[in-house]
């Protein structure tokens, strides 16, 4: 049984909702085929007429390859470990860093201002009379330029302009500005690096001069010029005197058994032994600080001081040997002025327009109008079939 609704006059049947079938929809759309053809076609024609008033634009493209940046001394290090490993870690992601640098430089306010002034874009973009002409011009320019880093490592600059010639000229100008700005920054980095190495190298040279002055003063004060050789001679002298002492003792012992102690031979041998012993005692107990070779008690302290001075000289000399080639390379890097990017494909005058894509716009407009019109007819048919139901819901 159908549901009933009580009214003032009795009970009435409640309207039922009748869903549409595909057959119903197709038949109804076929009945309105004229509208489905004429209206989308008319929309497409109107859109075509509208797009004719849109200015054509042309896109020029430059394909660039980042050149190797100055190594700033890293190539002087060994390939195995050490600072070369640090250099590899710093420079390993160089491609992405360079691409990000390019995007920053090309998108900067200064670069955009140069392009606007170079090609009089305030007039071309018709923003001269606006409240913020440069801001508006930069916004339009950013919409018409593309800077992309490719997975292969190359870098693409694309510029869209009203004429093919202008698109090519603007793209070429962007490449030139990129090289100029990047070279300026690279030169600045090389200069700062050179100044740092130069200061360090000059400091080492000054330290070496100071240490050499100290060594000369030390040598003049203590009479030391080659401590190892002098100490060796000193020890050889003591050894020789000690051997003579033993020889004199043996000789005196033999004489004591053969001659009288009062004899001249015995007394001479005794005098010789005492002289040798006095010499050894003087060598071992010399208190004259200026006679370092004979001042055995001060030999270890002064020797340590002597060797510390020479160690410092050797260390600073090795540092100077290390810094010298890096310093020379830093000076060379500073004066180099090589292009930072290599142009793989130079921009050419585009033969076809890139905007507006009239065919795509017209087809999209026609299809959109047809879809919307079909949706309208389906909703209309649904309302006609279920008019009583919708009126019942409203009541």
Q: Write a three-state SS string for 326-391.
A: HHHHHHHHHHCCCCCEEEEECCCCCCCCCECCHHHHHHHHHHHHHHHHHHHHHHHHHHHHCHHHHH
In a domain, 344, yes or no: no
Do 198 and 219 reside in the same domain of the chain? Answer: no
Q: How many CA atoms lie within 13 A of 173 on its CB side?
A: 17
Query: For the chain, how many structural domains are there in total?
Result: 3
What 72-81 contacts at long range (C-beta under 8 Å, 24+ apart), as own/partner pairs, is 72/189, 72/190, 72/193, 72/330, 72/333, 73/193, 73/197, 73/326, 73/329, 73/330, 76/325, 76/326, 76/329
- Between CA 232 and CA 240 the distance in angstroms is 12
SS3 153: coil
Query: How far apart, in Å, are the Cα atoms of 366 and each of 38, 41, 43, 196?
Result: 10, 6, 6, 68
Do 271 and 197 reside in the same domain of the chain? Answer: no
pLDDT at res. 317:
83
Do 173 and 40 reside in the same domain of the chain? Answer: no
Domain boundary among 203, 237, 253: 203
Do 95 and 221 reside in the same domain of the chain? Answer: no
DSSP 38-63: HHHHHHHHHHHHHHTTSPPBEEEEEE
In a domain, 389, yes or no: yes
Do 187 and 216 reside in the same domain of the chain? Answer: no
Do 188 and 227 reside in the same domain of the chain? Answer: no
Do 183 and 198 reside in the same domain of the chain? Answer: yes
In a domain, 329, yes or no: no
pLDDT at res. 224:
60
Residue-wise pLDDT for 372-388, tens only, equals 999 999 999 998 988 88
In a domain, 331, yes or no: no
Do 175 and 243 reside in the same domain of the chain? Answer: no
Token readout for 110 is 């200064």
Range of the domain at 318: 206-323
Do 229 and 181 reside in the same domain of the chain? Answer: no
Strands, sheet with 155-161, edge to edge from the N-terminal-most edge strand: 145-149, 155-161, 58-66, 341-345
Domain boundary among 145, 178, 203: 203
Do 134 and 106 reside in the same domain of the chain? Answer: yes
In a domain, 283, yes or no: yes
In a domain, 2, yes or no: no
Q: Is the pTM of this model over 0.75?
A: no
Residue-wise pLDDT for 59-100, tens only, equals 999 999 886 555 555 455 444 444 444 444 444 455 677 788
- Between CA 229 and CA 223 the distance in angstroms is 13
Residue with tokens 């008319």: 42
Residues of the chain with pLDDT under 50: 1-2, 4, 6, 74, 77-92, 292, 294, 296
What 110-113 contacts at long range (C-beta under 8 Å, 24+ apart), as own/partner pairs, is 111/174, 111/177, 111/181, 112/137, 112/138, 112/141, 112/142, 113/138
Angle between helices 299-335 and 164-222 (to 10 degrees): 160
C-alpha angle 310-312-315 in degrees, rounded to nearest 5: 110
Q: What is the CATH number of the domain that holds 94?
A: 3.30.1890
In a domain, 151, yes or no: yes
- Residue 70 CB contacts under 8 Å (≥ 6 apart), including other chains: 186, 189, 190, 333, 336
Do 315 and 375 reside in the same domain of the chain? Answer: no
Domain boundary among 154, 182, 203: 203
Answer yes or no: are the C-beta atoms of 72 and 194 closer than 8 Å: no
pLDDT at res. 84:
43
Do 189 and 63 reside in the same domain of the chain? Answer: yes
Query: How far apart, in Å, are the Cα atoms of 316 and each of 267, 324, 332?
Result: 60, 12, 24
Answer yes or no: are the C-beta atoms of 276 and 248 closer than 8 Å: yes
Instruction: Name 158's bridge partners.
Output: 61, 146
In a domain, 369, yes or no: yes
């Amino acid at each position: 049984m159908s549901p009933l609704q009580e009214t003032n006059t009795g009970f009435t049947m409640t309207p039922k909702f009748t869903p549409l079938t595909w057959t119903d929809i197709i038949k109804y759309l076929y009945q309105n085929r004229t509208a489905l053809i004429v209206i989308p076609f008319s929309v497409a024609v109107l859109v075509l007429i509208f797009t004719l008033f849109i200015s054509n634009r042309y896109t020029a493209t430059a394909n660039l390859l980042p050149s190797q940046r100055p190594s700033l001394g890293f190539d002087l290090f060994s390939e195995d470990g050490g600072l070369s490993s640090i250099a590899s870690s710093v420079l390993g992601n160089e491609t992405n860093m360079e691409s990000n640098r390019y995007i920053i430089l090309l998108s900067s306010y200064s670069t955009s201002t140069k392009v606007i002034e170079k090609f009089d874009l305030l007039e071309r973009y018709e923003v001269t009379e606006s409240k913020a002409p440069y801001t508006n011009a930069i916004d339009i320019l950013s919409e018409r330029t593309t800077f992309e880093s490719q997975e292969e490592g190359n870098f693409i600059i694309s510029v869209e302009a009203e004429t093919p010639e202008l698109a090519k000229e603007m793209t070429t100008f962007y490449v030139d500005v990129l090289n100029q700005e990047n070279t300026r920054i690279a030169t600045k980095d090389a200069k700062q690096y050179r100044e740092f190495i130069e200061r360090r190298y000059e400091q080492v040279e000054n330290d070496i001069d100071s240490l050499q002055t100290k060594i000369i003063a030390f040598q003049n004060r203590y009479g030391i010029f080659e401590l190892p050789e002098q100490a060796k001679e000193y020890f050889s002298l003591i050894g020789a005197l000690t051997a003579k002492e033993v020889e004199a003792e043996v000789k005196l012992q033999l004489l004591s058994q053969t001659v009288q102690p009062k004899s001249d031979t015995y007394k001479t041998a005794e005098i010789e032994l005492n002289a040798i012993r006095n010499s050894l005692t003087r060598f071992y107990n010399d208190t004259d600080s200026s006679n370092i070779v004979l001042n055995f008690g001060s030999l270890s302290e002064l020797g340590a001081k002597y060797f510390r001075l020479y160690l410092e000289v050797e260390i600073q000399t090795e540092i100077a040997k290390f810094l010298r080639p890096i310093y020379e390379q830093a000076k060379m890097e500073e004066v180099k002025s090589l292009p930072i990017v290599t142009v793989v494909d130079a921009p050419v005058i585009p033969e076809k327009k890139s905007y507006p894509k009239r065919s795509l716009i017209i087809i999209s407009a026609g299809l959109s109008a047809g879809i919307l019109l079909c949706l309208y007819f389906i909703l209309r048919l649904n309302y006609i079939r279920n008019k009583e139901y919708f009126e019942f819901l409203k009541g």
